[in-house]
Structure 1
Amino acid sequence: MSRAHTTEKAEAYAQELNRKRILQATEEDAENNENGSDKIAFGAAGQYDTDVYGSVRGNRSGKYLDSINTADEDDIDEDTIVPVNKKSVNAPAKFIHEAAHTGGDEPDPFAETRTKTIIERQASKYAERARHRAISPDRVDAFIDQTPDQRNRGYAEIMKEQQYKEEKGKVIFL
Structure 2
Amino acid sequence: MINQITQQLDISSILLVAALIAAFVIAFKVMEMIFDTMLIAGISATFYIGLRMIQGGPISINDVLLFTFLGASLYMTYSLLASLYKLGATVLPIPVHIIEAALKPLQYTWSKIEELKERDDFAPKQTNSQKQKKQKEEEKDKSEKSTKEVILGNKDKEDEDEE
Superposition TM-score tier, normalisation by shorter sequence: under 0.3
Q: TM-score, normalised by structure 1?
A: 0.23
Quick check: which one's helix share is greater? 2
Q: TM-score, normalised by structure 2?
A: 0.24
| Relative contact order higher in (CA < 8 Å, ≥ 6 apart) | 2
From the CA coordinates, give the structure whose radius of gyration is larger. Answer: 1
